[in-house]
Structure 1
Amino acid sequence: MNNEIWKTHTVDSEKGELHVQIDTLHIWLKRKNDEFWVASSNETEGEDLNKPVDELPADKIKWTRYAKESSTSEVDIKPVFPNLPVIISSEYPLKIAAGSKIHIYTRVPVWAQIKLKKEEYILTEIPSRKLNRTWFGNPVEGELCYWQSTRARRNLTDLNNSVSLINCPITIINKTHEELNFEKFCFRVDRLSIFDANDELWADQTVIEYHGEEQNSDISMTGKLPASMGTGTLLSKPRNPIPNSFATRTFKKLFDDTFISAK
């Protein structure tokens, strides 16, 4: 399935609209008067958008036009992470003993990046699912993040694969002499790559070393999948490539949850 979505597509003005489906997200592309036109819509329960555009309700299809002088008719559709950090909650409140290490997994909704192949010009990025926004920090200092209902779990065996979700392996190491009460953390996904492994989307492994509630955590994005999974096929590089590790506030939520409606 991934091979049919995340690849180079040809948008031919003589062949009508190109239609790509990513779970409930539908994307249409066409060329008209040397412009690229893009539309998208999410299915709601009971809806069927897998039909010709002219047969769909007008309020479901709103085209955006992109005027870019180009001789190419090829576009790359790539999976990318959301453009903000994501707040991840534990499936259940979890206490990590001093000096202990655990492995968890979470799944983050993918965004579809559409860009002209030759020019590397990005036309747009379309979220596969709508995420709410929240503030991580205090009223004076912090950062805007997304919040999602998908939780961190000890394994993914009881969950079905989804082409719209990126599986993210995370290792948390408690370097302190006290328990770490893990309920939620700020996951900076812009540092992660995306791989195709066994026809599923996977991120490279993240390692978080916790040094205390008032201290920054040391975070490493390994750039590769867990050893047990092999190498996979690289689909997308990080939005924000960084050195091997960095330190930042990860676990402490200093401000009560404030949700901001996502546009």
Structure 2
Amino acid sequence: MSNNIWWGEFTFDEQQEKKCWSVGERAILIKRKATEWNIWNIENQEEDHEILLSDGENFNVENNAVIGRFLEKASSDKIKVFPKLADRPVIARPSSPLTILAGEKVQLFISTPIWFYAETFPSGKCLVDLPFWRPSDSWFGSSTIDGQLCYAKYTSAKTKLEELDLHPHRATTAIMVINSHDKALIINRINVPVNYLHLYGDDKNQLWTSGITIEIENESADVELIVEKSISAELSPLKSISAPRESSEHGKLIRRISNLFG
């Protein structure tokens, strides 16, 4: 992939045409007026292209209603744009079941969709918070009562960095699964709490998240999930891009195993 960077601070003149962020035929357009911002959201089927910044002249907005008019007494001349992780956990479903044998430790790499986020600068008022492609809704848990509403997305779940198929509109999470149990752990689905993770970018502007460690120790129904504070040496140096949508005390989350793996 190229070194194309599409986030940062952007300056708008009142008379300037729109700015457009697009992936193939999918586009988000923003235009500044004296007392408001106009937003267009043009959706299409998912495509694996670079995220491009343009004036949007290739997109006809006349047939697409403005999805948002954001009013200010006087609009600022700058906005800040950056990627964010999903606003709730993402259920990753590998293409085939994974079996982690008893006593084994395995690192998985899971990719999840990113959101386009834009806010006024320097006031920090949100204008846009949209996924490039919205995953389907999915309930994950042991019952209709014990569980949570998530997003669902198929993923390859690679075990080696060199095997990763990186995409500009997705972020990759390194998940260390330690099976200290005396039984094999079979994973058909895994609940990735991306709303608790930091987002980083590398020197090629590929997106990565904080790492996660999960250890299965005994017959307990509860599992401690640790959000790593440091980044793997394999991935550094990385630059911080956006903070988690939710915070966790000491970087630890307690989850029922049935709410993590399926």
Once the two structures are TM-superposed, the CA of residue 153 in structure 1 deviates from its matched residue by: 2.0
Residue in 1 that maps onto 2:207: 201
**Alpha-carbon distance between aligned partners in 2 of 1:240 and 1:45, rounded to the nearest angstrom:** 27
Residues 1:244 and 2:251 aligned together: yes
- Deviation track 1:173-219 (CA, whole Å, cap 9, x = no partner) reads 11222111111121111111111113211111111112457612211
**Alpha-carbon distance between aligned partners in 2 of 1:70 and 1:92, rounded to the nearest angstrom:** 54
Once the two structures are TM-superposed, the CA of residue 5 in structure 1 deviates from its matched residue by: 1.0
Q: Which stretch of structure 1 is more off in the superposition, 140-149 or 67-76?
A: 67-76
Residue 228 of structure 1 aligns to a residue whose secondary structure is coil
Q: Which residue identity is paired with 1:133?
A: D
Relative distance call for 1:104 and 1:51 in structure 2 (3 A) is: same
TM-score, with length taken from structure 1 = 0.85
- Deviation track 1:144-194 (CA, whole Å, cap 9, x = no partner) reads 000012232223534543210101111101122211111112111111111
Residue in 2 that maps onto 1:97: 101
* 1:59-208 → structure 2 map (5 Å cutoff): 59-60=63-64, 62-137=66-141, 138-199=143-204, 200-208=206-214
Number of residue pairs aligned between Structure 1 and Structure 2:
253
Once the two structures are TM-superposed, the CA of residue 96 in structure 1 deviates from its matched residue by: 1.1
Residue 195 of structure 1 aligns to a residue whose secondary structure is strand
- Deviation track 1:219-241 (CA, whole Å, cap 9, x = no partner) reads 11113321122231100111112
Residue in 2 that maps onto 1:6: 7
Q: Which residue identity is paired with 2:246?
A: N
Once the two structures are TM-superposed, the CA of residue 67 in structure 1 deviates from its matched residue by: 1.4
- Deviation track 1:52-105 (CA, whole Å, cap 9, x = no partner) reads 458626334534111134552211111111111111123321221222110110
- Kept in 2, the 8 Å contact 1:95–1:179? The answer is yes
**Alpha-carbon distance between aligned partners in 1 of 2:11 and 2:95, rounded to the nearest angstrom:** 42
Residue 63 of structure 2 aligns to a residue whose secondary structure is helix
Residue 82 of structure 2 aligns to a residue whose secondary structure is strand
Relative distance call for 1:52 and 1:171 in structure 2 (3 A) is: closer
Relative distance call for 1:213 and 1:75 in structure 2 (3 A) is: farther
Relative distance call for 1:142 and 1:9 in structure 2 (3 A) is: same
Relative distance call for 1:135 and 1:239 in structure 2 (3 A) is: same
Structure 1: stretches of 5+ with no match in the other structure: 256-263
Relative distance call for 1:37 and 1:213 in structure 2 (3 A) is: farther
- Kept in 2, the 8 Å contact 1:213–1:252? The answer is no
Relative distance call for 1:100 and 1:182 in structure 2 (3 A) is: same
**Alpha-carbon distance between aligned partners in 2 of 1:176 and 1:158, rounded to the nearest angstrom:** 28
Give identity over the alignment, percent. 22
Relative distance call for 1:35 and 1:54 in structure 2 (3 A) is: farther
Q: Which stretch of structure 1 is more off in the superposition, 240-249 or 100-109?
A: 240-249
